[in-house]
Amino acid sequence: MRIGSITAISGDITKEDTEVIVNISNSSFDAKTVNEPQVSVPICQKKETPVCTEQEKTESCEKLEAEKSTSSNSAVVVTTAFGEKIEDEILEMYFENKRKSGGGNIESYVKKDEQVIITFEKEQDAQEVLQRKHHLNKIDLVVRPWQVETSQGLCQVENSEGSLLPTAVVLENVKETVKDCILVMLVENISGLSEDGGDFSVEMIPELCAAVVTFTGNTDAKDFAKKFNQNPRARKQNITARCLERTKSVRAENVPPNTPSHYLTVYFENEKYGGAQTVDVQLLPDEDAAIITFGDQKDVTNILAKKHSLNKTPIFVYPYYTSLETALYGKEGPQIKKPDPITWPLDPYIWTYLKGNSSLIEAIDDEMAKCNCVLTWPDPLCADPKVTLHPSAIFDERKRSVSRLAKTWKEEVSTAFSHSISQYEAIQCLVSTEVWEAIRDSFPHEEVMMIPHISEDLHVLVGEKEVVKKVEQELKLLIQKATREIEREKQRTELKVTTVNPGEYGILQITGLEEKFHKEFPDLQITYDYFQKCINLSGVPEEVYKVKGEILDHVHKMAKKTINIHPYILQFLEHVDNETLSQSLFVSKQISAFYELGAGGIILKASDPEDLLKAEEEIKKDLDHKSITLDDKSVLQKEKWWMLAKEACCNGAVSVTVEETQVVIAGLSEAVAKAFEELYNFIDENTQVQRIIEGKPMALIKFFEKEKVNDWTPLQKKGVKVDFRTQKNGEVISLSGPKTKVLEGVSLVDQILSGLHFKRVEIDLPGAKAYIKEQEQFLYPHIKQVFKCLVLLEEQPEKHLEEQKGHSNRGKLCMQVTMGETLIALYEADLCTHPVDVVVNASHEDLRHIGGLAEALSRAAGPALQQECDELVRKLGNLEPGRAVITGAGKLPCKNVIHAVGPRWNEKESQKCTWLLKKTVKQCLQLAEIYNHRSIALPAISGGIFGFPLDVCTYTIVSSIKETLEEFQGNTRWKEIHLVGFAQDNIQAFRKAFKEVFPDSLPSYRSPHHASPVPRPRQSKRIKNFPVITTLEGLNIMLQIGSIEDATTSIVVVSVGRDLQLDKGLLGRALLSKAGPMLQTGLLEEGGGRAEEGSVLKTKGYNLACSVVLHAVVPAWSQKNTPSKVLGDIITKCLEIAEELSLKSITFPAIGTGNLGFPRSVVAKLLFDKVFEFSSKNKVNSLEEVHFLLHTKDTATIQVSYCSFLSLLHYGISESVS
């Protein structure tokens, strides 16, 4: 039995009950998950009265209070899960069912917000209900005992003014990182309520950084807000709370398109759908929604309690809060229909490409995720692949933020996926199996995928669209090329060109002919078979035969020459690869040439005669050999020798061969020079020699032996054996051992001996000799003790001692000649001990004595010599080739050392090298003259590591000595000039030079004091010399008297008429008589029978002593300036020709003073002026002397010229007396 029935209104009021429970949706911040809770208010019985009177409301409250006092143990409070709704009728019937709920007859049923207060007739029914768990329509029901607070809410829903009080609080400044569970616990801690117990709910609004707490009981929202703002934890997180106002607006969603606002107004004013007074309607067509504002807050409660539809389309209504500018949706959030999945067909070839590269699939997945889409890819083995596009989980998780996306999702994801998949393309290609096999290895697989043999000749190219297009073009080119090559291969023929040897093939490569063929015929194969010595050609017939013809034509046009070379160099070439060496000698220098070995020489081949000439010059310049004479073969047994020889040959640039008496080094010039220096120094340092010190009185030798033991015994510790023995000429000291140590010992002994003094006393008294013999055992010790000297009795007089003095270390005399009062001698001797006033050291530019003769002299002289040289270099800098300086001699037996820097040999500048060497020798002799030395010793300057060919070196030195002596004409202090060599090759070269330079002399081997003089040149008796004038540039001008046919200069100048007849002039007839008729014939051939005035014609000297005769066509004299100018130009032209021919001397007679009538004073002045002008304006390289020759009978010219000569001397022109 029921005492009054209270039920919820879901449209019209159908039961005549005294009260109705109205479902009012409470305000909340989170429009996504929480609905407005219900609240029960009294409703008048009449339909037209929407709200009970104040009196009826009071009576209802009093009724609840009465029930509370009479049956508190029979009532329970039922709450559904937040947001879940169950119809009251169904709920009431459930709890009346004893079997299902454990309840029974219900005495009263009151609904308050989302709570239902049920009072049973029997207390035990209420207790049994509390013991069970309840589920209804899959919704959990929470049942708890009824408490006093439950009834109080009915009496507190309105304030004194009749408006609804706030039941929700807005929490602001809620960061996105704050989870809803944390916020719930914070609210529970502050309020003491429980969310699980249905006391409140929380709706998160992340887009506003806020949350709404809605209370279901009679909790004072203002009080809670105050407590929340005072909470330390809330303040720490900067979260603030305020009461949320009751709203007068709702948000209607899923409104059919094109629904007018007045239709919505009429709809909600209808009593069936709410009966509310509409104030404003705001349509939101883009969102299929509208915001409707009513005149009373209670209208919102009434409308939210109903279900709504427009034209059979359900619409969803939620409370809308203007302050939040959003609606609250409750727990379930807005009613959003998830978009349906989309199925998209895939090209099977593109799918094959994608599944082979997972990163591409991942990239598409990532791109679609931006559109809130999840892809389901087809099975890898699917024959008809399709991809399915699903909405992402965001549509379930964040309904508030994706409601607008649902409408456009399908279109957006379709566009995005279409764009992503359109980046890939599959292209079908028709390629034959034969062509595919030819190109498959060269096809670029990395960028794209080639799916071969879809059918017999069908292939599919798949990948990124742009790359596929690019690769498709490359593939087409490959197919075209392969097709062309296959066709060519079918036509290919092979041919051998058998007449080309390796050298000729090398030149073809060097000249770029092979490269030219490859450019012209890329598919033609050219190879060389070194075993069969032929070129193999492989290609199509027309290309093969054309190339063969060109090859044979080039080979036929090649220049060839056989060059004879030294056997030692040939032996070296036999052990090196000619192709590699040709590359180094020729190709690296842009010379198209090649060499091969022949019988006794090499066969040189080049692309043209010019390159052949260059190649020949390179062979002569870059290949060389040197030999080292062996005086002691035991040197070669030393381990270090083998190490040095092996090291020198390690790079293949040289070969070292040991002959009977010499070591031969052959190979590349620079490597030969380096190896020669190292091996020569080693041999020189390790050669065992013996030196005899003789020519000293026996007393000195004995005293040295007995009293200077402490001085000479250290030599023995250095490996030098010291012997004192008697030879037929007297006592000698013998030093033997290592060459360098022996030379040091010789220097030491000479120094000690030079510090000792002796005196020979002849006692011409009867019995003196017998007395001394009898008393010698008493007399000698006494004299030694008192006078510190040694006395010896000569049994026989020491003969030839004076002759031996100063010559004991001269060595072996080989050849000698005399010029005037000067002796020129060749010695096989050691320059370190050679007894002369000054010795010449062949030095480097920096005067560092670090090898060969220079090092030996430095060691013998002691450190003082190097120190003095270092000081000179510090002051003057390095010396240029051709220079010489003089220093002290240190411990050497000479007085001074001249350090001469000879030139280094250069085949291309051989004349300059020869000139510089002559200049060096002349400077050495001049320095000896300046320092008043009477004897000088010279080695083979520039003949060692400086690379001068030994024959050229020795000839240049001997000829320079002769020329210098001739220039000074005996007016010097030199008495002896020694050429000193130790190696046999040097001695032999000097012998040959002596014979060539002094052909009329008979060199002897007698003592220098009995040497026969070398005859002076014949013309020296006929030509008288005056003093020499030297210009500032070094050109010597000599005035001579004699006959022109006896002139010995390199060039002789003679005047001739325009008809070129020599016999018409006195000078011409004199030359013609001695030169022979060929002189006239040569002149006519040179001039063509006639010449213009001012011309200078050149012929040979024929039987004359000169090399060249210059025939000057001189005009006749007149008072005008023209003849003088022409004669002056002739003189200048003659001097220029002398320089061009690199000749060193020229003779001018008094040309023009005979039949042509030139005044003698004019000619004399012109000659001197033009020579000085030429010397000052031109760099004179070869020309050294200009001779003015006056005939002995021409006394007038002699007088004029001699006066001009003396005038020049008087005004300060430098003079060197001859």
User: Could you read off the pLDDT of 453-478 as tens digits, one per residue?
Assistant: 667 778 888 888 888 888 888 888 88
Q: What is the mean pLDDT of residues 1102-1115?
A: 92
Rounded Cα gap, residues 116 and 107, in angstroms: 13
Give, in words, the CATH class of 1021-1216. Answer: alpha beta
Q: Is the pTM of this model over 0.95?
A: no
Q: Which helix (H) or strand (E) holds 142?
A: strand 139-145
Q: Which residue has the tokens 């020229």?
A: 1146
Range with lowest mean pLDDT among 50-59, 156-165, 1009-1018: 1009-1018
Q: CA triplet 256, 261, 264: central angle to 5 degrees?
A: 70
Query: What's the confidence (pLDDT) of residue 387?
Result: 92
Highest CATH level, class, for 814-1016: alpha beta
- Is the predicted pLDDT of residue 803 greater than 50, yes or no? no
Strand order from edge to edge, sheet including 730-738: 688-693, 730-738, 721-727
Question: Quick one: average pLDDT of 935-945?
Answer: 90
**763 class by beta-carbon count within 10 Å (0-12 exposed, 13-18 middle, 19+ buried):** exposed
Q: At how many degrees (to 10) do helices 1078-1087 and 1066-1075 cross?
A: 120
| Extents of the domains making up the chain | 6-155, 342-408, 425-490, 492-557, 560-686, 688-803, 814-1016, 1021-1216
- Which pLDDT tens digit goes with each residue over 413-464? 889 988 888 888 888 888 877 777 777 777 766 778 887 766 777 888 888 8
- Sign, CA torsion 1153/1158/1160/1162: negative
In the predicted model, is pLDDT for residue 1131 greater than 90? Answer: yes
- Confirm if 687 and 631 have CB atoms less than 8 A apart: yes
CATH topology of domain 560-686: Ribosomal Protein S8; Chain: A, domain 1 (3.30.1370)
Residue 1047 has pLDDT above 70, yes or no: yes
For 1095-1106, write each residue's pLDDT tens digit: 999 999 988 989
The confidence band for 3, taking pLDDT boundaries of 50, 70 and 90, is: very low
Q: Which residue has the higher pLDDT, 1063 or 876?
A: 1063
User: 489 with 482: CB under 8 angstroms?
Assistant: no
> Does position 910 have pLDDT exceeding 70, yes or no?
yes
pLDDT digits (tens, 9 = 90+) for 192-240: 888 888 888 888 888 888 999 988 877 888 899 999 999 998 898 899 9
pLDDT > 80? residue 1193: no
- Whole-angstrom Cα distance, residue 878 to residue 193? 109
In CATH terms, the fold of domain 6-155 is Alpha-Beta Plaits (3.30.70)
How confident is the model at residue 656, as a pLDDT? 87
Could you give the CA distance from residue 904 to residue 670 in angstroms, rounded to a whole number? 12
Q: Is the pLDDT of residue 878 over 50?
A: yes
Q: How confident is the model at residue 561 (pLDDT cuts 50, 70, 90)?
A: confident
**pLDDT single digits (tens) 947-973:** 899 999 999 999 999 998 888 776 777
pLDDT over threshold 50, residue 1117: yes
pLDDT the model gives residue 150: 44
Task: Give the model's pLDDT for residue 1001.
Answer: 61
Q: In this predicted model, what pLDDT tens digit does every residue of 839-874 receive, in sequence order?
A: 999 998 889 887 778 888 888 888 889 888 988 888
Q: What is the pLDDT of residue 399?
A: 64
Take residue 823 and report the two structure tokens written for it: 């002796």
Given CATH 3.30.1370.10, say whether it is the number of domain 492-557.
yes
| pLDDT tens-digit readout, 727-769 | 666 788 888 888 778 888 888 888 787 777 777 776 766 766 7
**Residue 162 pLDDT:** 46
Instruction: Tell me what pLDDT residue 62 has.
Output: 47
- Asked if the domains at 6-155 and 814-1016 fall in one CATH topology, the answer is no
- Could you give the C-alpha distances from 1214 to 969, 1031, 1033, 1145, in angstroms and in order? 18, 7, 11, 19
Q: Is domain 688-803 in CATH 3.30.300, yes or no?
A: no
pLDDT recorded at residue 1148: 93
pLDDT band at 1195; cut points 50, 70, 90: low
pLDDT band of 1203, cuts 50, 70, 90: low
| pLDDT category of residue 144 using cuts at 50, 70 and 90 | confident
- Asked whether residue 308 carries a pLDDT value surpassing 50, the answer given is yes
Q: Residue 978 — φ and ψ, nearest 5°?
A: -105, 135
Q: Where are the beta strands (DSSP E) in 190-298?
A: 200-205, 210-215, 240-243, 249-253, 278-284, 289-294
Is the pLDDT confidence value at 127 over 50?
A: yes
**pLDDT tens by residue, 966-1015:** 887 767 778 899 999 888 888 899 999 998 998 876 444 333 333 333 33
